[in-house]
């Protein structure tokens, strides 16, 4: 005789809180690294660890989703949210890897500035995700989403200003290749945070 | 006592027409800019305005989608269509921003050529989207999708030819970095138009 | 009097087998090309043919999906699987085109190494897709997915090592621009294979 042990209902909020905490960890550590000014083997190992743990948190959500019949919000929104939060961590990991691969020995003030905005945005993402637990937080959530969108616009202007200066002042094309990619990747983290805000906004409207 | 004022049914076609008109506006203005030969602050402001209005039209569609139970075609197709049309406008805005950030003072004949094909493709996208209002237009729609696919192939060949010439003739690596990205972005607009054609084709087959 | 001739049920496995065979063809031919050391017009035509046939196989799946009510697994998974398999072929085609556009006359040993890993991964993808026909193969499928994930990690390290060497040893910025893009594209093929493994894993869990 067989029993179906697959849970029919699951709230997912704890799993998302765990996942988004790794995103905050990655953003905070990235900020620390930029302030330290360079990336060594230890830093690569540490960000790699965070990324790996984030991966496992993501897989937990997807596996749970595939086994669950009744979800607190639309399946595709759960999937999208898990994927976007995973992408935040991956992108931060990618930037740190590039700093090593490109042998950047002195992180510039621009990247420090970007790392601050990234930390701010990822912290706002974490609040938003945690507040989703309770629909009474809908006002805070929507304010937080507005803030994440604002930070994405800030990032756009920062990247454009930094690229303009880079092409204006840097005469070494190889340095341009490296920093152009790093600034664009940094801005991409903020784009992904904005994508999270869009998913969360959609979920809120559907539940209203 | 409460009444549920959320509309249960909504046709979406008017919203899509509005959104696609902004895409046409962006493509037409981009063509004008390339013919003028350079990008000034006024141009940046104007394309930014169009992008902003396009954004609002996109949000209207997503908000409406989240509030509507009965839709004229699959929810995920409405979502995909709104996103792709928004991406067309964003990508054109990105190209214009790059021209300023990279301080391109003389737009070359290649980009003028690309802007013409982009305008043609976006106009075909607009017709396709507007025709969706009435299933009697299915023949026109499918011819239009074929045309959009054809223009994407034209764009592929154009980009490859332009890049080959750029790497053959341009000796300044910094100029190569700039123009390579601009040509690739221009071709991406045509890729997104083709994605719209794919979504529309899917909708048509499902309704047949 | 009208009869509805649209099939209500369809198994899709034959179509996926056909599509994934084109992916293997593309990967095998790409490997051959790298061993030959250069890309001529004939090679461009041949990879273009494979891409075109792959496109048709993809369209067959999407069209069939849009016409079918009962599918062997979730509609969005069928769509995602078809799209990812198509992306594998497209990306290989893109790399071959770049080799010609950039007038690469001597393919380096790095790309040969990448082509081997790509062939290995695409062959694992093909086995996985073919095994999906029968749920009794679930153990083989999950082992195969683990292998595809492993090869993606191998590819990540290879790309990072190759880029580090390129920036260390190559003094010509234009050569750096070309090879950087080619190595990153090669790694992208392995990313897409991993995406296939994720889709397949999701399907397996849902069916369990």
ipTM: 0.91
Query: How far C2 CA lies from chain B's nearest CA (Å)?
Result: 14
Tens-place pLDDT, residues A13-28:
999 999 999 999 999 9
Tens-place pLDDT, residues C24-42:
999 999 999 999 999 999 9
**What confidence category does residue B6 fall into, taking pLDDT thresholds of 50, 70 and 90?**
low
Helix (H, G, I), strand (E, B) or coil at A1: coil
In the predicted structure, residue A201 carries a pLDDT above the cut 50: yes
Query: B200 near B135, Cβ under 8 Å?
Result: no
Sequence spans of domains, chain C:
13-207
Question: What's chain A's average pLDDT?
Answer: 93
Residue C83's pLDDT is what? 95
| A173 contact C CB<8A | yes
Q: Which distant-in-sequence residues (6+ apart) come within 8 Å of B88 by Cβ?
A: B23, B26, B27, B122, B125, B189, B192, B193, B196
CA dihedral sign of residues C122, C127, C133, C138: negative
Tens-place pLDDT, residues B160-193:
999 999 999 999 999 999 999 999 999 999 999 9
Do the chains contact at C101 and B76, CB–CB below 8 Å? no
Chain A 40-79, residues with CB within 8 Å of chain B CB atoms: 76
| B206 contact C CB<8A | yes
Do the chains contact at C173 and A178, CB–CB below 8 Å? no
H/E stretch holding A124? helix A109-131
Q: What DSSP designation does A32 have?
A: H
Do the chains contact at A176 and B178, CB–CB below 8 Å? no
Do the chains contact at A167 and B102, CB–CB below 8 Å? yes
Average pLDDT over residues C160-177: 98
DSSP chain B: -----S-SB---HHHHHHHHHHHHHHHHHHHHHHHHT---HHHHHHHHHHHHHHHHHHHHHHHHHHH-SB-SS-HHHHHHHHHHHHHHHHHHHHHHHHHHHTT--S--HHHHHHHHHHHHHHHHHHHHHHHTT-GGGHHHHHHHHHHHHHHHHHHHHHHHHHHHHHHHH---HHHHHHHHHHHHHHHHHHHHHHHHHHHHHHHHHHH-
Backbone angles phi, psi at C40, to 5 degrees: -110, 180
In the predicted structure, residue B4 carries a pLDDT above the cut 60: no
Percent share of chain B, pLDDT over 90: 82
CA dist A5 and A2 (Å) reads 9
**What confidence category does residue A6 fall into, taking pLDDT thresholds of 50, 70 and 90?**
low
Question: What's chain C's average pLDDT?
Answer: 93
Do the chains contact at C174 and B173, CB–CB below 8 Å? yes
Query: How far A136 CA lies from chain C's nearest CA (Å)?
Result: 33
In the predicted structure, residue B116 carries a pLDDT above the cut 80: yes
CA dihedral sign of residues C172, A101, A54, C205: positive
CATH architecture assigned to A13-207? Up-down Bundle (1.20)
**What confidence category does residue C206 fall into, taking pLDDT thresholds of 50, 70 and 90?**
confident
Q: For residue A177, which residues of chain B lie inside 8 Å, CB to CB?
A: 177
In the predicted structure, residue B2 carries a pLDDT above the cut 50: no
Do the chains contact at C202 and A97, CB–CB below 8 Å? no
Helix (H, G, I), strand (E, B) or coil at A161: helix
Q: For residue C101, which residues of chain B lie inside 8 Å, CB to CB?
A: 160, 163-164, 167
**What confidence category does residue C5 fall into, taking pLDDT thresholds of 50, 70 and 90?**
low
Tens-place pLDDT, residues A110-143:
999 999 999 999 999 999 999 998 888 999 999 9
In the predicted structure, residue C1 carries a pLDDT above the cut 50: no
B103 to chain A: nearest residue by CA? A164
CA dihedral sign of residues A186, A187, A191, A193: positive
Query: C7 near C68, Cβ under 8 Å?
Result: yes
Residue A66's pLDDT is what? 85
CA dist A174 and A166 (Å) reads 12
**What confidence category does residue C6 fall into, taking pLDDT thresholds of 50, 70 and 90?**
low
pTM above 0.90, yes or no: yes
Percent share of chain C, pLDDT over 90: 82
In the predicted structure, residue B80 carries a pLDDT above the cut 70: yes
In the predicted structure, residue A91 carries a pLDDT above the cut 50: yes
Query: How far C77 CA lies from chain B's nearest CA (Å)?
Result: 13
Q: In this predicted model, which residue has the larger pLDDT, C2 or C63? A: C63
In the predicted structure, residue A172 carries a pLDDT above the cut 70: yes
- In chain A, what's the furthest Cα-to-Cα distance? 75
In the predicted structure, residue A8 carries a pLDDT above the cut 80: no
CA dist A130 and A135 (Å) reads 11
Q: Which distant-in-sequence residues (6+ apart) come within 8 Å of B49 by Cβ?
A: none
Which residue from B182, B150, B146 is spatially nearest to B166, judged by alpha carbons? B182
Percent share of chain B, pLDDT over 70: 96
Q: What DSSP designation does C132 have?
A: T
Tens-place pLDDT, residues C173-198:
999 999 999 999 999 999 999 999 99
- Tell me how many degrees the CA angle A140-A195-B101 measures, rounded to the nearest 5: 115
Do the chains contact at C63 and B163, CB–CB below 8 Å? no
Helices B13-36/B109-131 angle, 10° precision: 170
Query: B73 near B65, Cβ under 8 Å?
Result: no
| C170 contact B CB<8A | no
Which residue from C81, C15, C68, C67 is spatially nearest to B204, judged by alpha carbons? C67
In the predicted structure, residue C3 carries a pLDDT above the cut 70: no
Residue C73's pLDDT is what? 86
**What confidence category does residue A2 fall into, taking pLDDT thresholds of 50, 70 and 90?**
very low
> Residue A149 has which token pair?
């969108």
Q: Which distant-in-sequence residues (6+ apart) come within 8 Å of C78 by Cβ?
A: C12, C61, C65, C71
Tens-place pLDDT, residues C143-157:
999 999 999 999 999
């Amino acid at each position: 005789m067989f029993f179906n042990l697959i849970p029919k209902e699951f709230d997912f909020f704890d799993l998302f809180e765990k996942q988004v905490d790794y995103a905050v960890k990655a953003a905070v550590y990235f900020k620390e690294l930029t302030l330290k000014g360079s990336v060594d083997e230890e830093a690569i190992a540490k960000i790699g660890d965070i990324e790996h743990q984030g991966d496992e948190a993501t897989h937990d959500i997807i596996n749970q989703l595939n086994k669950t019949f009744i979800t607190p919000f639309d399946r595709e929104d759960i999937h999208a949210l898990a994927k976007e939060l995973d992408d935040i961590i991956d992108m931060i990991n990618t930037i740190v890897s590039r700093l090593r691969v490109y042998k950047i020995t002195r992180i510039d003030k621009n990247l420090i500035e970007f790392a601050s905005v990234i930390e701010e945005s990822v912290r706002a993402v974490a609040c938003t995700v945690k507040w989703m637990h309770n629909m009474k937080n809908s006002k805070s959530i929507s304010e937080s989403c507005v803030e994440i969108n604002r930070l994405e616009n800030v990032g756009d202007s920062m990247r454009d200003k930094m690229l303009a200066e880079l092409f204006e002042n840097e005469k070494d094309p190889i340095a341009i290749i490296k920093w152009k990619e790093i600034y664009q990747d940094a801005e991409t983290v903020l784009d992904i945070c904005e994508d999270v805000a869009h998913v969360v906004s959609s979920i809120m409207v559907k539940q209203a």
